[in-house]
């Protein structure tokens, strides 16, 4: 098993091979490729001692066998960036509104994602019809955040629960409505 490298980069300590150069009896502790690697894998390699791996590296030419155009393409700072990329999906928000409909550029940006401010005829609610009904059930307005909804839900459950009313089940229908409203609102996209 190889341990942490101590002094020489690329050295594999504890390698059991001997140097692959004929006549050399030194320990082969460095991997050297026989040919440049391809995209199909690392290629073939052999074990060399320190002196012979230095000799190998001095004579190694990555560009050997390439044409001038291939060498230029490999050395380009844009190499690898010429692949096609997929277009961004437009389904991430509402279609972009016309800028002329807004006095404030920030309103126009917010309008792109459906959170438009009051005024100017834009959509004023960030909640669906079912979510608006759930807010009304809890007695909250459109400006409520999830923390306010959770607090109101907790208060109403305590108020309507039979255990808090001496076993009186007259408020059970209202309790069920409050619980259903919470189930709708806790999954509302406006709170995501």
Q: What is the DSSP letter of 174?
A: H
pLDDT in tens, 149-185: 999 999 999 998 888 888 888 888 999 999 999 999 9
- Predicted confidence at residue 109, as pLDDT, reads 72
Residue among 86, 3, 15 nearest 53 (CA): 15
pLDDT in tens, 25-61: 888 888 888 766 555 666 678 888 889 989 988 887 8
- Predicted confidence at residue 122, as pLDDT, reads 46
Beta strands 45-48; 30-33: pairing state? antiparallel
Q: Which domains does the chain have, with CATH numbers?
A: 1-75 (no CATH), 91-124 (no CATH), 127-192 (1.10.287.110)
Strands of the chain, DSSP E: 30-33, 45-48
pLDDT in tens, 79-121: 767 666 666 655 555 556 676 677 777 777 776 665 544 444 4
Across 128-133, average pLDDT:
88
- What is the H or E stretch that residue 147 is in? helix 146-160
SS3 162: helix
d(CA 151, CA 149): 5
Contact 141, 134 (CB under 8 A): no
Those residues whose C-beta lies under 8 Å from the C-beta of residue 66, and which sit 6 or more positions away, are: 74
- Predicted confidence at residue 139, as pLDDT, reads 92
Q: pTM here?
A: 0.38
SS3 10: coil
Residue among 104, 108, 84 nearest 94 (CA): 108
d(CA 74, CA 63): 9
d(CA 73, CA 38): 16
């Amino acid at each position: 098993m190889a341990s942490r490298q101590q002094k020489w980069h690329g050295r594999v300590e504890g390698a059991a091979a001997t140097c692959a150069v004929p006549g050399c009896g030194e320990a082969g502790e460095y991997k050297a490729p026989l040919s440049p690697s391809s995209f199909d894998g690392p290629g073939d390699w052999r074990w060399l001692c320190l002196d012979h791996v230095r000799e190998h590296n001095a004579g190694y030419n990555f560009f050997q066998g390439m044409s001038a155009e291939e060498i230029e393409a490999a050395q380009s700072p844009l190499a690898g960036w010429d692949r096609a990329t997929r277009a961004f999906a437009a389904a991430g928000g509402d279609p972009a509104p016309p800028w002329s409909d807004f006095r404030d550029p920030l309103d126009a940006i917010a309008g792109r994602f459906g959170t438009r401010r009051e005024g100017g005829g834009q959509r004023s609610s960030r909640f669906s019809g079912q979510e608006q009904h759930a807010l009304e059930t809890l007695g909250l307005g459109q400006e409520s955040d999830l923390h306010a909804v959770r607090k109101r839900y907790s208060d109403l459950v305590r108020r309507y629960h039979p255990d808090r009313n001496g076993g009186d089940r007259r408020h059970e229908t209202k309790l069920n409505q409050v619980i259903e409203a919470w189930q709708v609102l806790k999954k509302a996209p406006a709170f995501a």
